[in-house]
Amino acid sequence: MTIWWGLLALGLLIVCALAFYLGRLLSQLQKQKLQQQQAQAEQQRKQAEHQQYLLDSIVLIGQATLEDQCELSEAGLRIWVLLENLQPELAQACRYPGLFAMYDCVKAMPTHEARKALDKKELRHLDHIRQQTEIQLAASIKQDIRQLLEILKPVH
């Protein structure tokens, strides 16, 4: 009879140990799920902040361009790149032909150190092309920017 009591005690001890171990595993699983949810929420927050930054940048550059505080070529290049990152479906040449044409003209032109390395004749030639394109596309670019700002305004 005492052997049965011993076996019963041993069985209860094993069951308690397994229950404790299961409780720890469930607790760890719950912590892991909570950490994943927090990481996902943080990722979504950062993505929303980035989207808002892109939107604010487009609006700011667009408004500055309409107020003649930003060159059309600079605006075309910057807005197009920002737009492709914000909403690629909006960055379509058929939607904003002026902006795209300006972007297409200046996207391959050297900047910063590469621009400084050019000889003066080549630099003048590139500047002439850029300025002529700005003159030809000025009305179209400004119209595209107005249209874009109207689309983005409700989002902003």
Distance, CA of 102 to CA of 78 (rounded, Å): 11
Residue 104 CB-density burial (10 A; 0-12 exposed, 13-18 middle, 19+ buried): middle
pTM of the model: 0.77
pLDDT, tens only, 50-86 = 999 999 999 999 999 999 999 999 999 999 999 999 9
Name every residue whose Cβ is closer than 8 Å to that of residue 33 and which is 6 or more positions away in sequence: none
Residue 81 CB-density burial (10 A; 0-12 exposed, 13-18 middle, 19+ buried): middle
pLDDT, tens only, 125-156 = 999 999 999 999 999 999 999 999 998 886 55
